[in-house]
């Protein structure tokens, strides 16, 4: 009896184990099926994301060729050569590339948004890519060897203010002392720089150019340029390179490398283009003619050099003595105190002006001019300075071997302009140049993007929604 009972218990135990195993297998099969389904979903999503990535490469490969070849910039023109922005065509191209790269699947809804534009942040989006471009080309170590435009420009501007203040003060002083002499002594006081004053009132280009007739006569329509019109708003700058003094150094280098200037054109180093030729001067002056921009920039360069040259004369006792001696000779005997000193100061100011005219003339001729003058780099004698109109040609081949060129002085003037102004005027130049190229008639720089978000609905075994940031990396 005991043995029989024992055999029955064993059978029941074996049966219970079989049920437990069956239940376990069912659970395992469920998880196995769920795992397969999850793996399949992950595989399908991976294929969808890969297709979206390939679509990104395909769409962005249609970048604007002229912007890349001339300006080193990667931008997709959403105008596609037409008269307006065509985001519908952009979506069509994305959908086409998705279908080509998604085997067995199709693309449904495709949206593109948060479009970053070159004009965003009043040109700061373009500024950031330009800074990146120059950092890649030059590198920080190489650029550190270039002149510090910001520091030199500010120093020159301070001396310019000192010169202008002294010029007004000394001229008024001389006029007052001259009236007193006429009343008390019945003698007139000659103004030794009257001829120089007449030259100042004339065209600066007639003084600083060897051939004024060679100046470009081009005029541009600035009525609808990016710096003036209301540009299409975008997602804003990426914030990778903020507007700082350190980044401005690279931006200035970029602008001066892609924008032609008057000295290059006058020397025949480059050929005229379809838009304004004196583009670097336009960045500074913002006028609609080449001659207007060149004249404005030459006037500013002349003012900077006047301050620098006058500062040197105040430190040179020998040249001050020359002015004092000539002033005494011109005035003669007088009882008016301070009259000789007033004439001497006016002579000193006129001498600085004459030397500055020669400096600008040499710069436009492709020569180097010392930033800080010394006895070995000062060129005009006092006599030649007073006969300025007849003495400049003899100095046309003089050059300061350790000096800096016209382009560097343009960099100083750029450093004195607000970041927004030079960025937007730079975009004026880019748009104007591209519009002058075949097929560029309707080009607008605010229709150019370097990044945007794409969201697409894909049917690939199941319905999927994928999002990706389409952008150029810089």
pLDDT at position 32: 62
Token pair 């404005």 is found at 296
Nearest to 276 by CA among 430, 126, 412: 430
User: pLDDT, tens digit, for every residue of 13-54?
Assistant: 555 557 667 767 777 766 666 555 555 555 566 778 888 899
User: pLDDT, tens digit, for every residue of 216-243?
Assistant: 999 999 999 999 999 999 999 999 888 8
Three-point CA angle 171, 172, 175, nearest 5°: 85
User: pLDDT, tens digit, for every residue of 285-311?
Assistant: 999 999 999 999 999 999 999 999 999
Whether 259 has a pLDDT exceeding 80, the answer reads: yes
Average the pLDDT over each of 183-187, 276-280, 363-367, 387-391 and give the range with the smallest value: 387-391
- Three-state secondary-structure class, residue 6: helix
Question: Which stretches within 114-193 are classed as H helix?
Answer: 120-137, 140-143, 149-184
Model pTM score:
0.87
Question: Which stretches within 185-259 are classed as H helix?
Answer: 194-201, 204-208, 245-258
Using CA atoms, how far apart are residues 179 and 184, in angstroms rounded to an integer? 9
DSSP letter string over 26-77?
HHHHHHHHHHHHHHHHHHHHHHHHHHHHHHHHHHHTT--HHHHHHH----EE
Which DSSP symbol is given to 104? T
Query: Is residue 112 within 8 Å of residue 453, measured between CB atoms?
Result: yes
92 contact partners, CB below 8 Å, separation of at least 6: none
pLDDT at position 459: 84
């Amino acid at each position: 009896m005991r043995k029989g009972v024992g055999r029955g218990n064993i059978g029941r135990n074996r049966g219970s184990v079989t049920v437990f195993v069956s239940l376990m297998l069912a659970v395992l099969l469920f998880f196995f099926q769920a795992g397969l389904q999850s793996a399949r979903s992950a595989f399908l999503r991976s294929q969808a994301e890969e297709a979206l990535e390939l679509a990104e490469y395909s769409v962005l490969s249609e970048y604007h060729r002229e912007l890349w070849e001339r300006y080193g910039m990667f931008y997709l023109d959403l105008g596609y050569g037409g008269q307006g922005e065509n985001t519908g065509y952009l979506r069509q191209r994305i959908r086409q590339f998705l279908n080509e790269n998604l085997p067995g699947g199709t693309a449904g809804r495709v949206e593109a948004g948060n479009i970053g534009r070159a004009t965003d942040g009043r040109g700061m989006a373009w500024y950031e890519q330009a800074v990146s471009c120059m950092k890649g080309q030059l590198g920080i170590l190489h650029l550190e060897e270039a002149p510090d435009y910001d520091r030199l420009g500010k120093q020159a501007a301070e001396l310019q203010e000192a010169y202008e203040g002294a010029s007004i003060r000394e001229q008024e002083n001389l006029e007052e002392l001259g009236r007193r002499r006429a009343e008390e002594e019945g003698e007139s006081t000659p103004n030794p720089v009257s001829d120089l004053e007449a030259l100042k009132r004339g065209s600066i280009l007639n003084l600083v150019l060897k051939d004024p007739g060679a100046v470009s006569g081009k005029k541009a329509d600035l009525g609808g340029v990016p710096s003036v019109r209301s540009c299409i708003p975008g997602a804003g700058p990426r914030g990778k390179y903020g507007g700082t003094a350190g980044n401005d150094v690279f931006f200035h280098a970029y602008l001066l490398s892609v924008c032609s200037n008057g000295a290059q054109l006058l020397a025949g180093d480059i050929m005229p283009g379809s838009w304004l030729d004196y583009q670097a001067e336009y960045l500074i002056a913002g006028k609609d003619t080449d001659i207007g921009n060149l004249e404005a920039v030459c006037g500013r360069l002349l003012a900077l050099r006047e301050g620098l040259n006058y500062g040197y004369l105040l430190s040179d006792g020998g040249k001050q003595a020359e002015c004092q001696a000539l002033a005494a000779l011109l005035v003669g005997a007088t009882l008016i105190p301070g009259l000789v000193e007033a004439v001497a100061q006016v002579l000193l100011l006129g001498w600085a002006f004459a030397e500055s005219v020669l400096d600008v003339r040499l710069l436009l001729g492709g020569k180097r001019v010392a930033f800080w003058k010394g006895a070995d780099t000062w060129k005009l004698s006092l006599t030649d300075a007073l006969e300025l109109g007849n003495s400049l040609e003899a100095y046309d081949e003089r050059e300061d071997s350790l000096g800096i060129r016209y382009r560097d002085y343009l960099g100083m003037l750029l450093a004195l302009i607000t970041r927004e102004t030079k960025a937007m005027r730079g975009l004026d130049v880019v748009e104007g140049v591209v519009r002058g190229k075949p097929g560029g008639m309707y080009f607008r720089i605010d229709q150019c993007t370097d990044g945007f978000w794409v969201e697409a609905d894909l049917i690939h075994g199941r319905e999927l929604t994928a999002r990706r940031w389409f952008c150029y990396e810089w």
